[in-house]
Amino acid sequence: MGRAMTGGWLWLLRLRWAWYGGGAMLVGLTEVAGIPMPWLPLGALLALGFGSNLGLTALLRRDPEVRAADAVASALGLDVGLFTLALLATGGAYNPFSLLYLVLVVAAVQATRGWRAWALTLWTVVAFAVLFGVQSWELQVPPQTHAEHVSFHLRGMWLAAGAAAAFIAWFVGVQRAEQAALAAALEHERTARGRAERLASLATLAAGAAHEMATPLGTIAVVAAELDAVLAEADVDLDAAREDARLITAEVQRCRDVLDRMAVDAGAARGEAPVAATAEALVAAVRERLRPGAALRTEVAAGLPTLQLPLGSVATAVAGLCDNAVRASAEATEPAALGIAATDGVAEGAGGWVITVRDRGPGIEAATLARIGEPFFSTRPHGEGMGLGVFLAREVARRLGGALHLQSEPGAGVAATMTLPGAANATTEAR
């Protein structure tokens, strides 16, 4: 039953502050209306109520789990008892504010479970019944006729109903807000878990592909090397054939590199050790991963800090974004651009990076942009992309405590902005 005070019990503490604060205000208003109140007993009851809420707050802060259920049930039982004594001091069963017992019942049912809820409900019913069997202090209202007395009592009932409605409406609103926040947190956790599961599946797929393709690729590499050796010993001019054999060998190595990067992309390199990386080192690593001759303009701000990063994973993620930008800018007069700057408001030599990849393509409409980053969703023609680049780049940034955002307008290209925090945060999940 125990819930942390900062979450499930905070509403109850607020309700009790409002309950006793509202009681003090009602006593004051009644006095203003010309009905004298027994200040000494009422003041003692209010002081006891306020003091109990201070004690409950301290207890829940110190021990929110172990004794929370008993402490809350005891506090609500005390509220019922103090309210009953207050009613006995102000007219007993004739006091129209006895309607506020309903607020205590609602709070008891929401705050407790099982036998505690039923015990508090029974205690409330018994306390209300006591009002009919115990002589109460009679309010000294001004002399009135019977009709005036009934009218006065009905107005009090209306005021009591309004107070009860306000308490219950506020209470239900707080509960709905708390449930909505809990639902949002659960949905966020479900989404994060789904991303993790997809990454695990991709890592398994990449590892399996690398394992299955290692043997045929190795065979091709051996045969190509033997073919090159045989052609070298031949007496005829077979330079073109030898060049083809070397090309096969190079392409096989490239396939192996691609498979290795697939494993990195898919999250297999989560255990990659962070290294002290400069922005220039990241740019160099990104260029190594791009196709030869890819048109990419780079700009690195001066005085950027050195970050502790898994350089391979980050470079692969940024390279995927750059490859998309280069392809989108193929028909443009200006090349795609990669820029690295310091995070806003950070002094030189400290803080994190803002990595911006911008293409010069036609841009993407809002409906399509909202889907970019979904696994296996791609705007390229069929067979030219797997739709994983943005998704994996976003996951790399998230694991390092950063984020990836896309912006685009039709005709203005697409800008991908990746933020990476300083070294203290950057190493947290990468390890």
How far apart CA 223 and CA 241 sit, in angstroms, is 13
Question: 280 and 245 in one domain?
Answer: no
Per-residue DSSP letters for 76-139?
Answer: HHHHHHHHHHHHHTTTGGG-GGGGGHHHHHHHHHHH--HHHHHHHHHHHHHHHHHHHHS--PPP
109-166 per-position pLDDT tens digit: 888 888 888 999 999 999 988 888 776 665 555 555 445 556 666 777 777 777 778 7
In a domain, 217, yes or no: yes
Q: For tokens 């010309």, name the residue.
A: 34
Question: 246 and 375 in one domain?
Answer: no
Q: Decide which of 268, 283, 310 is a domain's last residue.
A: 268
Question: 284 and 263 in one domain?
Answer: no
Per-residue DSSP letters for 392-422?
Answer: HHHHHHHHTT-EEEEEE-TTS-EEEEEEE--
| CB proximity list for 315: less than 8 A, separation 6 or greater | 282, 285, 286, 288, 289
In a domain, 75, yes or no: yes
Give me the pLDDT at residue 80, please.
92
Question: 127 and 236 in one domain?
Answer: no
Give me the pLDDT at residue 353, please.
92
β-partners of residue 150 are none
Question: 371 and 342 in one domain?
Answer: yes
Give the β-pairing of 296-300 and 336-342: parallel
Q: What is the CATH number of the domain that holds 343?
A: 3.30.565.10
In a domain, 2, yes or no: no
In a domain, 65, yes or no: yes
Which H helix or E strand runs over 314?
A: helix 311-328
Question: 286 and 352 in one domain?
Answer: yes
Give me the pLDDT at residue 8, please.
55
Question: 421 and 280 in one domain?
Answer: yes
In a domain, 312, yes or no: yes
Question: 415 and 279 in one domain?
Answer: yes
How far apart CA 23 and CA 145 sit, in angstroms, is 28
For residue 234, give both structure tokens.
């031949």
- 49 near 79, Cβ under 8 Å? yes
Question: 104 and 59 in one domain?
Answer: yes
In a domain, 183, yes or no: no
Give me the pLDDT at residue 208, please.
57
Which H helix or E strand runs over 299?
A: strand 296-300
Q: Give the type of residue at 342.
A: A
In a domain, 161, yes or no: no
Q: Decide which of 118, 142, 166 is a domain's last residue.
A: 142
For the chain, list residues with pLDDT below 70. 1-8, 33-34, 63-67, 135-153, 195-215, 234-238, 240, 242, 256-272, 344-350, 373-388, 423-431
338-355 per-position pLDDT tens digit: 999 988 644 444 578 999
Residue 106 to residues 51, 102, 118, 172, Cα–Cα distance (Å): 22, 6, 12, 10
SS3 state of residue 430: coil
Per-residue DSSP letters for 365-389?
Answer: -HHHHTTTTSTT--SSPTTS--S-H
Give me the pLDDT at residue 370, please.
73
Total number of domains in the chain:
3
Give me the pLDDT at residue 334, please.
85
- Residue 412 is part of which domain span? 275-426
Question: 228 and 88 in one domain?
Answer: no
Question: 280 and 404 in one domain?
Answer: yes
How far apart CA 242 and CA 408 sit, in angstroms, is 48
Question: 250 and 281 in one domain?
Answer: no
